[in-house]
């Protein structure tokens, strides 16, 4: 026989008769009326992340995103497409918008890691999302680059929808990391009174957003803030640091076990051979490129 058929009582054979139970309950209510019971604390509001703002991944969590080691070989190609996939390197840095997911997939099949190049500090009129930027964040012309203007990186709340969508696209295409360009607007004539604090806040926000999507992120130039941004960035990328003599400012990355990928340009130096010994001493990954960043590349022997 089952408990249900016998009118089973969860208190077992020692269950009280119904009248006695009612009496006991009544006494308990009466006691509650004469005792000062403190009110329950208000619950902490539960904040749910939106689809466009995923929660940051803990930096203590291993393998949350790819973190390159020092001494890796790399190729940087942003023009003269399609991407030349024949170079014997561990890392390719290519344009976010100009390459389909199949390119990243093909490079992965060869054992390469792939980084998406995207400007986060300038507006470029040829990009497919150019009309998504509010007019109030678009500043002065970026001298030397027609069709490009600086952004007001103080207004993160206005830039966030576009930048998050770009990072989402980077992740969706299968990239392993992101190269954020133009992240030192505070040191340029942008048309906005940007401070170093404004730049630090924006650059830290970018790193958190990249990591929240499982993307590695590199500090592009911005050597004056290298120490402050070191905890947020996984590697660094420099332009002209050997020709201009500021490479050692990026040594905190090497000392932290984070690589520095260095590019020199043919319009500044004819060859990188004079810098190869210094690059080896600093443990920088050095290449020579044309300013247009086509497929051609020269590396140290």
| Helix ranges, the chain (H) | 18-34, 101-109, 156-172, 196-212, 226-229, 241-244, 251-255, 273-282
Structure confidence at residue 284 (pLDDT):
98
Give kind and range of the element (H or E) at residue 291.
none
How many angstroms separate the Cα of 94 from the Cα of each of 68, 90, 140, 235?
16, 13, 26, 16
* Domain annotation for the chain: domains and CATH numbers: 74-299 (3.20.20.70)
Check whether 71 has a pLDDT greater than 80: yes
Q: How far apart are CA 199 and CA 183, in angstroms?
A: 7
Check whether 50 has a pLDDT greater than 50: no
DSSP string, 182-213: ---GGGS--SS---HHHHHHHHHHHHHHHHHT
Structure confidence at residue 41 (pLDDT):
34
Q: How far apart are CA 40 and CA 255, in angstroms?
A: 51
For the stretch 87-120, pLDDT in tens is 999 999 999 999 999 999 999 999 999 999 999 9
Buried b (16+ CB within 10 A) or exposed e, 161-178: ebbbebbebbbebebbbb
CB 219 within 8 A of CB 235: yes
How many angstroms separate the Cα of 116 from the Cα of each of 136, 155, 272?
27, 24, 25
How many angstroms separate the Cα of 173 from the Cα of each of 55, 99, 208?
20, 9, 19
DSSP, res 282: H
Structure confidence at residue 47 (pLDDT):
30
Structure confidence at residue 33 (pLDDT):
40
Q: If you average pLDDT over residues 51-69, what whole number do you get? A: 60
Where residue 211 falls among pLDDT bands split at 50, 70, 90? very high
Where residue 45 falls among pLDDT bands split at 50, 70, 90? very low
């Amino acid at each position: 026989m089952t408990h249900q058929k016998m009118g089973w009582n969860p208190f077992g054979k020692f269950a009280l008769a119904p009248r006695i139970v009612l009496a006991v309950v009544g006494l308990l209510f009466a006691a509650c009326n004469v005792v000062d019971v403190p009110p329950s604390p208000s619950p902490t509001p539960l904040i749910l992340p939106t689809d466009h703002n995923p929660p940051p991944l803990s930096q203590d969590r291993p393998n949350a995103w790819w973190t390159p080691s020092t001494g890796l070989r790399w190729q940087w190609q942003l023009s003269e497409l399609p991407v030349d996939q024949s170079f014997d390197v561990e890392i390719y840095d290519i344009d976010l918008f100009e390459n389909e997911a199949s390119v990243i997939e093909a490079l992965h099949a060869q054992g390469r890691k792939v980084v998406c190049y995207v400007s986060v500090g300038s507006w470029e009129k040829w990009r497919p999302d150019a009309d998504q930027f509010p007019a109030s964040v678009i500043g002065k012309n970026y001298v030397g680059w027609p069709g490009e203007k600086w952004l007001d990186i103080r207004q993160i709340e206005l830039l966030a929808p576009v930048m998050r969508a770009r990072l989402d696209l980077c992740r969706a295409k299968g990239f392993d990391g992101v190269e954020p360009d133009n992240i030192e607007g505070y040191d340029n004539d942008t048309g906005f009174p940007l401070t170093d604090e404004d730049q630090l806040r924006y650059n830290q926000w970018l790193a958190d957003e990249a990591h929240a999507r499982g993307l590695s992120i590199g500090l592009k130039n911005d050597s004056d803030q290298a120490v402050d941004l070191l905890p947020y960035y996984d590697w660094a990328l420099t332009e002209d640091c050997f020709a201009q003599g500021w490479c050692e400012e990026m040594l905190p990355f090497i000392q932290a076990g984070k690589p520095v990928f260095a590019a020199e340009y043919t319009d500044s130096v004819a060859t990188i051979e004079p810098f190869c010994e210094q690059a080896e001493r600093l443990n920088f990954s050095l290449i020579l490129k044309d300013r247009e960043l086509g497929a051609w590349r020269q590396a140290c022997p």
